[in-house]
Amino acid sequence: MNNLIEIDSLTFKRGERTIYDNISLQIKEGQTTAVMGPSGIGKTTLLKLIGGQLSPTSGDIKFRGESIPNMKRSRLFNVRRQMSMLFQSGALFTDMTVFDNIAFPIREHTNLSEEFIRTVVLMKLQAVGLRGAADLMPSELSGGMARRAALARSIALDPELIMYDEPFAGQDPISMGVLVKLIKQLNNALKLTSVVVTHDVKEVMSIADYVYILAEKKIIGSGTPEEIRQSDSALVQQFLKGQADGPVPFHYPAKEITAEFLGA
Amino acid sequence: MISRKTEIWVGLFVALAIAATLMLALNVASKGSVGQGETYSLFAKFDNIGGLKVRSSVKVGGVTIGRVESIELDPEDFTPVVKLSISQQYNLFPETSSVSILTSGLLGEQYIGFQPGFSIDGIENLKEGDYIADTKSALVLEDLIGQFLFSRDSE
Amino acid sequence: MEALAKLGRSTLDKFSALGRATFVLLGAVMSVPQLKNIPLTIKQIYVVGVQSLSIIIVSGLFIGMVMALQGYTILVDYGAEGSLGPMVALSLLRELGPVVTALLFAGRAGSALTAEIGLMKATEQLSSLEMMAVDPLRRIVAPRLWAGVISMPMLAIIFSAVGILGGHLVGVDWLGVDAGSYWSIMQSTVEWNEDVLNGFIKSIVFAFVVTWIAIFKGYDSIPTSEGISAATTQTVVYSSLAVLGLDFVLTAIMFGIE
């Protein structure tokens, strides 16, 4: 199986702070790859790097063997038409109806007739179960529905790669179940390549083909969900089991408590 | 995707702006005919122009027919030469016409009063570049007072 | 030493902000014009222009009325109340029309533009456009910039016209200045090129600057509640200062040297 995306010894710094220190990973075509890790380690940043919205400090990111950071803007825009991203907030355009939101990328990039666009949009909405909500404004949707609408928009142009940014964060169990089912279905039906960035272990283990675990600026574990479960790394186990203390300390770095209170 | 209401409002907005522009053009700013349309130039020499300025108006019986284009000093006899630009639609003034510098009201600004002369056979009309021979200078208040005192002394 | 470093750092920050602002402006102005953008621009003219209309008309009316009232009490002492017309018209056309419109526009439409774009950034709508291979500079910024540049001069003209009518209302209808002299002395004094067009040019310049600042402040805002509220305040402060400063420069160029 081919690698759709290859990340090669990537280092990324934001100001003085290092977010990634020399990481490498591959995303295989047609597979669902999960990237897991604790909050605040810049998982969203990874997706933005793949999408070319940020440039790495060093290292390279390749899409079908073509280096994204070195692309010209016009070429990058062409490549982006084959990608799409589901943002954590959904990022629906608040001044348009759900229908227009989903029609938006089609109208921007094609010259199809309104009638045809209507058919396509309603089909996409049907796929996420929101055909009845076509005429609502995004503000009238619940969080889970907004994310489903955003999902419909991100598959509007039938991309090859979808990047999900925390798709399950802040969802109730039912919406979470719906989203897991949808992502699975869409991948199987459309033969999509997916990257799911998340910290919801249980859900993502059920849909991922391959898992990377990021922590402390590095990849600390990778493999199929089964291999990950068997991993003997303390860090991986702490993350999977959700233990409060372990290699990732409970306390934010501070001086010794005795020193703080006793002024020693 | 843009609603009919929006379109109508924007249309109304543009119409309002056009109406305002028209109002400024027709009612507020000086009409295009003077100083903007076709004009011809006349010259007049005065002994003293008083407070006359460039762009002061030239009037016949109160009707503005042109403006002062420039004011210069004749390098030979050191008298002010005023260049008037007169609207082309008033191009039939006879050579015997006279100009004087007048004041609108006691404190108002000064303008040129143009007095058309009699047209008899053999007298041509003023044309581009002509000098108007008959001119009366501005009244200068100090001179008037001086004259008044002088005439009283001599009594 | 510390103060020096601080000064240097803030200067560098200012320059880099100016650079980013230029980049945003160029990106918006240079973006390939598309037919699809025309409806977007019209929609924005509705938002920034039509919706500012009421405040512009009301302010214009009152400013014209106040000027007539103030002017009358001074002019009548010299028996020169006939000059009320040109006084009101010239102040409006040359100064108050463009300047007050720009200040009101910055407060009414500029702050809204900043907040809107800032919120789009905070809710990842701008990022999501980029990921859809749609340039937000073209899709979001350019229509708003053009709408501002088109709307504000129109608003300024409406402001001046309404102000002159307001002056007429107070001067002629209430205080008894002769209507004929109000209009005729105004006509003989106000010049189309000198006064009306110069005022119009001023308001185009102001429109450009105010809209640019508003858009850039939104685009460059820190996408948090504090960030957006700071950016909105900065839009109003910076554009007001820019308008007043530029007004002096433009006035000096246009009317200074005779």
DSSP annotation string for C198-220? HHHHHHHHHHHHHHHHHHHHHHT
* Residue A13: both structure tokens together: 């710094």
When CB atoms are compared, the residue of B25, B55, B57 closest to C192 is B25
CB-CB under 8 Å, B24 with C46: no
Count residue pairs from A and C with Cβ separation < 8 A. Answer: 45
d(C-alpha C179, C-alpha B1), whole Å: 48
Rounded to the nearest 5°, which phi and psi values hold at A157? Answer: -100, 20
Partners of residue A85 in chain C, C-beta under 8 Å = 127-128, 131
Rounded to the nearest 5°, which phi and psi values hold at B126? Answer: -70, 140
d(C-alpha B114, C-alpha B60), whole Å: 5
Which one of C35, C36, C42 makes the best mutation probe of the B interface by having the most chain B beta carbons within 10 Å? C42
Mean pLDDT of A94-102: 87
**Residue A116 near chain C (CB below 8 Å):** no
**Residue B35 near chain C (CB below 8 Å):** yes
What is the three-class DSSP state of B153? helix
| Residue B27 pLDDT exceeds 80 | no
Q: Model confidence over A194-239: pLDDT tens digits?
A: 888 887 777 788 888 888 888 777 888 888 888 877 777 777 777 7
What is the three-class DSSP state of B125? strand
Which is more confidently placed, A254 or A211? A211
Residue C118's alpha-carbon distances to A45, C54, C115, C140, C235, in angstroms, are 20, 26, 5, 12, 12
Q: Model confidence over A103-152: pLDDT tens digits?
A: 888 888 888 888 888 988 888 888 888 888 888 888 888 888 888 888 88
CB B59 within 8 A of CB B66: no
When CB atoms are compared, the residue of B16, B28, B55 closest to C187 is B28
CB A63 within 8 A of CB A159: no
Residue B34 gets which letter from DSSP? T
Mean pLDDT of A169-192: 81
Which one of B13, B59, B67, B109 makes the best mutation probe of the C interface by having the most chain C beta carbons within 10 Å? B13
d(C-alpha A91, C-alpha C121), whole Å: 9
When CB atoms are compared, the residue of C127, C131, C139 closest to A84 is C131
pLDDT value of position A28: 85
Contacts of C181 (CB under 8 A, 6+ apart): C82, C85
For chain B, first and last CA: distance in Å? 93
* Residue B59: both structure tokens together: 């009037």
Which residue is closest to A157 within chain C, CA to CA?
C132
Contacts of C189 (CB under 8 A, 6+ apart): B30, C85, C86, C89, C90
CB-CB under 8 Å, C135 with A80: no
* Residue C156: both structure tokens together: 């300024």
**Residue A107 near chain C (CB below 8 Å):** yes
Partners of residue B53 in chain C, C-beta under 8 Å = none
CB A90 within 8 A of CB A171: no
pLDDT bucket at B35, cuts 50 / 70 / 90: very low
pLDDT value of position B34: 43
* Complete DSSP assignment for B47-102: S--TT--TT-EEEETTEEEEEEEEEEE-TTT--EEEEEEEETT----BTT-EEEEE
**Residue B141 near chain C (CB below 8 Å):** no
Treating both helix axes as pointing N-terminal to C-terminal, what angle do A143-154 and A173-190 enclose, rounded to 10 degrees?
A: 10
Contacts of B30 (CB under 8 A, 6+ apart): C187, C188, C189, C190, C191, C192
Residue A65's alpha-carbon distances to A4, A53, A68, A191, in angstroms, are 8, 18, 9, 20
* Complete DSSP assignment for chain C: -HHHHHHHHHHHHHHHHHHHHHHHHHHHHHSPP-TTHHHHHHHHIIIIIGGGHHHHHHHHHHHHHHHHHHHHHHHGGGT-GGGHHHHHHHIIIIIIHHHHHHHHHIIIIIHHHHHHHHHHHHTTHHHHHHHTT--HIIIIIHHHHHHHHHHHHHHHHHHHHHHHHHHHIIIIIIT---HHHHHHHHHHH--IIIIIIHHHHHHHHHHHHHHHHHHHHHHTS-SSHHHHHHHHHHHHHHHHHHHHHHHHHHHIIIII--
H/E stretch holding B17 reads helix B4-23
Chains that touch A (3 or more CB pairs under 8 A): C
Residue C100's alpha-carbon distances to A11, A25, C186, C200, in angstroms, are 52, 58, 21, 13
Place of tokens 């055909």: A131
Partners of residue B2 in chain C, C-beta under 8 Å = 39, 42-43
Partners of residue A108 in chain C, C-beta under 8 Å = 36, 132, 134, 139
Which one of C53, C101, C157 makes the best mutation probe of the B interface by having the most chain B beta carbons within 10 Å? C157
pLDDT bucket at A8, cuts 50 / 70 / 90: confident
In angstroms, what separates the C-alpha of A177 from chain C's closest C-alpha?
24
Tens of each residue's pLDDT in chain C, 258 residues = 888 888 888 888 888 888 888 888 888 777 766 677 788 888 899 999 999 999 999 999 999 999 999 999 998 888 777 788 889 999 999 999 999 999 999 999 999 999 999 999 888 888 888 888 888 888 888 889 999 999 999 999 999 999 999 999 999 889 888 887 788 788 878 888 788 888 999 999 999 999 999 999 999 898 888 999 999 999 999 999 999 999 999 998 887 754
pLDDT value of position B32: 45
d(C-alpha B97, C-alpha B114), whole Å: 7
In angstroms, what separates the C-alpha of A94 from chain C's closest C-alpha?
9
* Residue A23: both structure tokens together: 């990481």
Rounded to the nearest 5°, which phi and psi values hold at C129? Answer: -60, -45
CB B116 within 8 A of CB B97: yes
**Residue B7 near chain C (CB below 8 Å):** yes
**Residue C236 near chain B (CB below 8 Å):** no
CB-CB under 8 Å, B29 with C192: yes
Which one of B12, B16, B28 makes the best mutation probe of the C interface by having the most chain C beta carbons within 10 Å? B28
CB-CB under 8 Å, A104 with C131: no
Q: CA C76, C78, C83, C88: dihedral to nearest 10 degrees?
A: -60
Residue C30's alpha-carbon distances to A22, B16, C23, C27, C142, in angstroms, are 38, 30, 10, 5, 9
Looking at the DSSP bridge assignments, the partners of residue A218 are: A215
Kindly report which listed range (A257-261, B151-155, C88-92) carries the lowest average pLDDT score.
B151-155
CB-CB under 8 Å, B1 with C39: yes
Identify the CA nearest to C219 among candidates C21, C12, C19: C21
What is the three-class DSSP state of B126? coil
In this structure, which amino acid lies at residue B82?
Answer: V
**Residue C164 near chain B (CB below 8 Å):** yes
What is the three-class DSSP state of B136? strand
Looking at the DSSP bridge assignments, the partners of residue A27 are: A5
**Residue C257 near chain B (CB below 8 Å):** no
| Residue B31 pLDDT exceeds 70 | no
In angstroms, what separates the C-alpha of A17 from chain C's closest C-alpha?
18
CB-CB under 8 Å, C130 with A80: yes
**What is the average pLDDT score of chain A?**
82
Partners of residue C152 in chain B, C-beta under 8 Å = none
* Residue C82: both structure tokens together: 């006939």
* Complete DSSP assignment for chain A: --EEEEEEEEEEEETTEEEEEEEEEEEETT-EEEEE--TTS-HHHHHHHHTTSS--SEEEEEETTEESTTS-HHHHHHHHTTEEEE-TT----TTS-HHHHHHHHHHHH----HHHHHHHHHHHHHHTT-GGGTTS-GGGS-HHHHHHHHHHHHTTT--SEEEEESTTTT--HHHHHHHHHHHHHHHHHHT-EEEEEES-HHHHHHH-SEEEEEETTEEEEEE-HHHHHH---HHHHHHHHT-SSSSS-SSPS---HHHHHH--
| Residue B33 pLDDT exceeds 50 | no
In this structure, which amino acid lies at residue B68?
Answer: V
d(C-alpha C67, C-alpha C61), whole Å: 10
**Residue C160 near chain B (CB below 8 Å):** yes
* Residue B78: both structure tokens together: 């050191």
Kindly report which listed range (A9-23, A211-225, B29-43) carries the lowest average pLDDT score.
B29-43
CB-CB under 8 Å, C124 with A94: no
In angstroms, what separates the C-alpha of C232 from chain A's closest C-alpha?
20
